[in-house]
Amino acid sequence: MKVVHVISGGETGGSRKHLLSLLKCFPKGDAALIVFQKGLLYDEACHLDINVQLLEQTSRYDLSVLKKMVNHINEKDYDIIHSHGARANLFTYLIKRKLRAPWVATVHSDPSLDFMHKGLRGKIFSMINKKTFNSIDLIFAVSDHLKNRLIEEGLEKEKIKTVYNGIQFDNRLHLSKLKKEAFGLTEDDFIIAMAARCHPIKGHEIVFKALKELNDINIKVLLIGDGPSKKDLEAKAREMGLISQVRFLGFRSDVEALIDLADISLLASYSESFPLVLLESAKMKKTVIATNVGGVNALIPDQSMGFVVPKGDPASLKEAILTAKKIKQAGKLGDMGERLYQHAKSHFSLHQLYEMIYDNYQHIL
């Protein structure tokens, strides 16, 4: 079976990691990748020796790539086209009648929120993206919560399959160790790692409010990720007197090592599907505090494995951080991380992800 995955190429977060990990599971020669721009994803795909085809656009509105897509996909005689993201969905939608293979897509996030805070242009993009869904032959939703959101949008539940994200759990020992001193941290600090792009949907300001209420200079937050709100968040941290507690690290390629350095991992989002960063945290045996979004409860089914708090609630987040710090002082925080690791390894492995997707490919063929 020959499969071609299609993605814009500009992704730097969870969907990029998800796709590259999945592609490495396929037998050599069975899977290929199409991207429309150079970037981190393209560079990593080349480094991993993945068969990647660059159909470069002069801008995101350059539709000359459509003819190239049709020719490339039909000439290679792929059995399945698998798209990821709004641009890849739109382009595949526009050429579907010229393709011989069925079309499947993974929806990584709530389509109603993908273009939030982008005004009229965002509303138009969101409407177009949702329109493409009706033409997809099979949709993979990365959580039951996201599947239900798609059904609410009017999609037939029969053509939506829940396939949770998965990662490889057996390569943890090869991680490089980071030193706290390199980030201005001490042994007395309670360190929180928050890997999330700087965007309003990720809830950074809720974290700042919780920190302000905690009023503990030994609680430090490593903010890992770039994004459109980074300068605003830096200004907000200064305004709230938190700049000595918050480290803005920007984009990093060593996210797992930074999570390993921390005491806990934090997700404060207003919306998620099934966050890959939580699986990475589980892999590092780190206790997690996460808002009650997407498929979080599937990963953290009870309080013995972590903390699930309401979204947009700084008081609840404050209490969870305070409790986690007390558990660390009692020497029990590692036990929570170990339980989370065992649960995640049993239910969300990369092998399970690949097997479920491959079985669904066979079913649709």
Arithmetic mean of pLDDT, 200-204: 93
3-state secondary structure of 198: coil
Same domain, 182 and 158: no
Query: In the prediction, which pLDDT does 117 show?
Result: 61
Same domain, 226 and 194: yes
Mean pLDDT, the chain, rounded, equals: 91
Query: In the prediction, which pLDDT does 113 show?
Result: 66
Query: Would the pLDDT of 93 be above 90?
Result: yes
Query: In the prediction, which pLDDT does 115 show?
Result: 62
Same domain, 242 and 161: no
Arithmetic mean of pLDDT, 92-111: 91
Same domain, 84 and 158: yes
Is the pLDDT higher at 118 or at 282? 282
Same domain, 149 and 228: no
Is the pLDDT higher at 195 or at 174? 195
* pLDDT tens, position by position, 297-324: 999 999 999 999 999 999 999 999 999 9
Same domain, 208 and 116: no
Which domain does 227 fall in, by range?
Answer: 172-347
Phi, psi of 85 (to 5 degrees): 95, 160
Same domain, 340 and 213: yes
Phi, psi of 274 (to 5 degrees): -140, 95
Arithmetic mean of pLDDT, 21-45: 93
Q: What percent of the chain has pLDDT over 90?
A: 75
- What is the C-alpha to C-alpha distance for residues 39 and 9, in angstroms, rounded to an integer? 6
Query: Would the pLDDT of 80 be above 90?
Result: yes
Residue-wise burial string across 21-39, b where 16 or more C-beta atoms lie within 10 A, e elsewhere: bbbebbeeeebbbbbbbee
* pLDDT tens, position by position, 50-70: 999 999 998 888 999 999 999
Structural domain count, the chain: 2
Same domain, 195 and 324: yes
* CA distances in angstroms from 348 to 37, 161, 163, 282, 309, listed in the order given: 30, 16, 10, 10, 22
Rg (CA), the chain: 21
Q: Which of 139, 1, 4 is nearest to 71 (CA)?
A: 4
Query: Would the pLDDT of 163 be above 70?
Result: yes
Query: In the prediction, which pLDDT does 114 show?
Result: 62
Same domain, 146 and 224: no
User: Which pLDDT band, with edges at 50, 70 and 90, does 38 fall under?
Assistant: very high
Query: In the prediction, which pLDDT does 172 show?
Result: 56
Same domain, 36 and 80: yes
* pLDDT tens, position by position, 230-279: 999 999 999 999 999 999 999 998 999 999 999 999 999 998 888 889 99
- For β-strands 264-267 and 287-291, DSSP reports them as parallel
Query: Would the pLDDT of 173 be above 80?
Result: no
Query: In the prediction, which pLDDT does 116 show?
Result: 59
Same domain, 112 and 240: no
Same domain, 128 and 220: no
140 membership: H or E segment, kind and range:
strand 138-141
**CATH number of domain containing 37:** 3.40.50.2000
